[in-house]
Amino acid sequence: MIVGRPFLTVDQIQKKVRELADSISADYENKNLLAVGILKGAFVFYSDLVRMIRVPLTVDFILASSYVKSNTSGEVKLMHDITEDTTDKDVLLVEDIVDTGITLNYIRERILMKGPRSLHICAFLDKTERREVEVPLDYVGFAIPNEFVVGYGLDYDNKFRNLPYISIFKKRT
Ligand code: 5GP
């Protein structure tokens, strides 16, 4: 297995997270922000993002997965649901990467059924080429090509999540 040079460096990542946090801070002034991190992959991005957001917020998490190794299974498994009441909340879903859109679409519809005051989505990476289900993305860090990436919370087989940068992952054949 090869994890190559940074595809997105620590500096590029931090600069982008700051920009996203600035936009979110401006948009959520005087709102009741509930930031929902989608685990496991978004845990690093989420913790950077919420620390740069300058409006009050509450936190919650949802644990869902549609992936087996680097191939999507197309099925979403929910392992942990949010615990906060969403009725008077402006929910912001925070995702690491959107690929086919299946996971995010499932989570979005699930939260919408709980009747939040508003629901928006922030995704750090967007692989637009691979989209199968359209999901409205309100804040996007980087649009990236169709490559499998690891680091900054993103894994291969639950490894490499602790890399501080994002790298394209190649399997040695
Ligand atoms: P989707 O349901 O949009 O196809 O897949 C979303 C999930 O698949 C992400 O939350 C992430 O866990 C995983 N995923 C999609 N593309 C990649 C990738 O390039 N690298 C890694 N590590 N995970 C990915």
What is the tens place of the pLDDT at every residue in 85-125? 999 999 999 999 999 999 999 999 999 999 999 999 999 99
Ligand 1 atom nearest to CA at 102: 2
- Tell me the three state secondary structure of residue 18: helix
Q: How far apart are CA 114 and CA 136, in angstroms?
A: 18
Q: How far apart are CA 141 and CA 171, in angstroms?
A: 26
Ligand 1 atom nearest to CA at 40: 12
Ligand 1 lined by 165 (C-beta under 6 Å):
no
Q: Is the pLDDT of residue 172 over 70?
A: no
Ligand 1 pocket test: which of 97, 146, 149, 170 has the largest number of ligand atoms within 8 Å of its C-beta? 97
- Specify the residue for token string 């957001």: 53
H or E stretch covering 106? helix 102-112
pTM of the model: 0.94
Catalogue all structural domains in the chain, each as residue range(s) with its CATH number: 10-146 (3.40.50.2020)
Ligand 1 lined by 93 (C-beta under 6 Å):
no
